[in-house]
Chain A
Amino acid sequence: MLFNSFEFLFFLPIVWIAYWSLKDHLRLQNLLVVVASYVFYGWWDWRFLILIAFTSAWSYVVGLLELRRWEAKPSRALLTISLVVNLGILGVFKYYDFFVDSFVSAFGFLFPGTLSTSTSSLHLILPVGISFYTFQALSYTIDVYRRNIRPTRDPFAFFAFISFFPQLVAGPIERATNLLPQFLRKKEFSYPDAVLGCRQMLWGFFKKMVVADNCAVVVNQYLNDGQMDNGLMVLCCVFLFSIQIYCDFSGYSDIAIGCSKLFGVKLMRNFAFPYFARDIAEFWRRWHISLTTWFRDYLYIPLGGSRCSKAKMVRNTFVIFLVSGLWHGANWTFVAWGAFHALLFLPLLLGGRNRKYLTDIAGDRWYPTFGEVGLMLRTFLLAMAGWLLFRATSLAEAGRWVADIFTFTGYALSETFPHEGRVVFPMIGLLLVGEWINRREQFGFARYPKWKGLRWVIYFFIVLLIFMYAPGSQTFIYFQF
């Protein structure tokens, strides 16, 4: 089920009413969350439920086994088995065909007639959100191993933690230490939180349905064509894709976080206005925060982090960025994207400048200085260069686009630049203004006028924009991860 669908419009109020009707019965409430989440997830394909149920059950059992030996030293064997099983499932569904195809492409000539992609690949359907909930389950088993959290015996709470529908398919990737305890205690309805949640959802829908989806129409029309040799349109589309991926993903996160507030659940922040970053290091502190912190805590630091030799620091940084790239998809373009960002990040890290910008840009001022604008622009352009790799379906295609841009081939705005393209730029302007004003808040519409009438006018205005300019239902980009 998509957030931006009519089914969800009916699903949410029904679940919400039932949820708060059961506020004095925690176990039943958690069971409702599990059932509702499985309905939400199974709406795409009921077969996906088998996998998430297995992942949840497996992680739950591992937790119980660790609980039995809680006073003793944590079991490395148990952790290893848990990691192998969870990552194995992810690997088979997401990466098997990729690695087989790559192997066959590279070495197939050694075994003529016996190796081919059609016979060796499995062609499995990738379950929606598998990367997200698998990582969430892993965070539990690793935190249990580290004794950061006590395993729970409550299966309903645990299954609710893994499958909580607002964040199930595209994050934020929650830590067990944050989310699981919330399902183990009674929740009270908070009016301010609920209103804030609704406002955050509205902003998320605006970003997704108006900005991202209209960008997608233009980007898909030109970049999917495969025939384009117009450098200016490539540049335009890469710019719009940069906006699209931010609005799509952060819009989803806003909807997920806002929706969770309606249920009295606090999720972690996932985006902190990354395009206002002054360098790449700050960008990565603001982009997909749940994933980057996950990799930092569960991969980077165990590898030694930054408290090791420079050679190991370089190795660790590359590992993190390459794995992060690969997490996004089974394609060499994602690996290249990760490597590109590693190359941008390393000079800052090695030079000790990766924590130069820790405060919000422009402080209390309404507007940035020219220098700050320059820094933001530079960071945005670097990120945009990375998104070119991210969007391409192959390295060859990415190379063609780069060639088109830098050889100034056919530089002209296409005459068939669709209506949506002309709609999207004013909306990007609106987004920029909203997010700049709220850059020190949790999301782009956190601050609001005190007068209720004006507030409601703004709400209606945003709803009207969504109604009039949403081009039609498009899935969220990050569902494919």
Chain B
Amino acid sequence: MRRFIVNALGFAGLTGALIGGVCAWEIVAEIRAYRREVIPPAGADILLTSDSQMAKSVDPELAPRFFNFCANGRQLDQAYMVADDVIRAANGKIKSVGIDVSPQILVAPLDTPISKMEYAARYWLLHVLHWKDLNIRDLRGVIKVARDNLTGRRWRHAWRAVRGRVIFRSSLHGEYAPLPDCTKEENPGFYRGLLNDKVRRSVAVGRMTGDEAAFDLLAKMIADFQERKLAVFVVTTPWNPDLLASFRSGELEHFTKLMQTFCRRNHVPYLDFLRTPFPEEEWIDSNHLNVRGAKRFTPMLLRAVEEAGL
């Protein structure tokens, strides 16, 4: 039995080392790739930060001023993190930041284990590699967040996040993601957008439960970018009329009113394209344009940005 235990422990140890090595290699590769991807190309001075909506609806080839970098987690804190990285990597080249805010990004919870642990792992690893930027207070906060997420059953999510499956390369599209060209009828995922009852419920008239934190973070992002002397604007990308129709009367008007009030208070322009009509064949699903739609929307957005003096 001793021989079995020794062999078993040896095998487990070597397996752990092998898997750890694979994970470390993956994480380092992801971080290196991410660091390359956050550098905007020459000529890009407007950063668009959002989730997949912006990634699919804007074609940077048509507007080289745009640097379209998206964190596909539908979470504002990830968008903030990515924008911060791009601005630092750009070293002064970025002059404007456009934050995409749709009803769904406002209701996505900010404190999911994946979001925090991914943030913690990335922030920690990046700061270890950039030791000059290490901030001891941030470090303690990061360790606390990491520790919090390793309790209970969240550690499984944490493990996946550390392995880089959730957020790193797979969902950081940047401007290198090819824009899809099929129409919504060809896309089996079309109907899923219509079932997003959570969004509908949270945009209900008079109630935005759970989203106060999102608005606070949005305000913090805007103040931070303005402090860095960047021009900031908020934009809402188009939604398909079928999805818009699935909301009750007044709900989306309430959302628009909220955004207008918020932007007025924070002294930023609000570019609202939520109800901008596009032909049916220019949609890939209920809330994403395809390549044809992007070709129409991109100059529209650029014109609006330039007219706002940004």
Contact = CB atoms under 8 A, between A and B. Distances in A.
A209 to B, nearest CB: 14
Contact of B19 (A225, A416, A467): A467
A229 B14 CA distance: 48
Specify the main secondary structure of chain B where it touches its partner.
helix
A357 interface: no
B8 to A, nearest CB: 7
A417 interface: no
B15 A463 contact: yes
B87 to A, nearest CB: 33
A225 B4 CA distance: 48
A1 to B, nearest CB: 13
A191 B15 contact: no
A464 B22 contact: yes
A464 B18 contact: yes
Nearest to B9: A13
Contact of A225 (B1, B11, B156, B188): B188
| Chain A: number of interface residues, binned into ranges | 10 to 19
B3 interface: yes
Given A6-B156, A225-B188, A463 B1 contact: no
Nearest to B26: A468
Nearest to B8: A198
Contacts of B19: 463-464, 467
B188 A416 contact: yes
A227 B19 CA distance: 40
Contact of A195 (B4, B22, B156, B188): B4
Given A6-B156, A225-B188, A460 B3 contact: no
Contacts of B1: 20, 189, 191
A195 B188 CA distance: 47
Contacts of A189: 1, 4
A468 B19 CA distance: 9
A191 B4 contact: yes
Interface in B30-57: none
Interface string B187-207: 010000000000000000000
Contact of B22 (A6, A459, A467): A467
Contact of B11 (A20, A194, A456): A456
A460 B8 CA distance: 13
A6 B18 CA distance: 18
5 contacts: A191-B4, A194-B4, A195-B4, A460-B18, A464-B18
Interface of A: 6, 20, 189, 191, 194-195, 198, 225, 227, 416, 456, 459-460, 463-464, 467-468
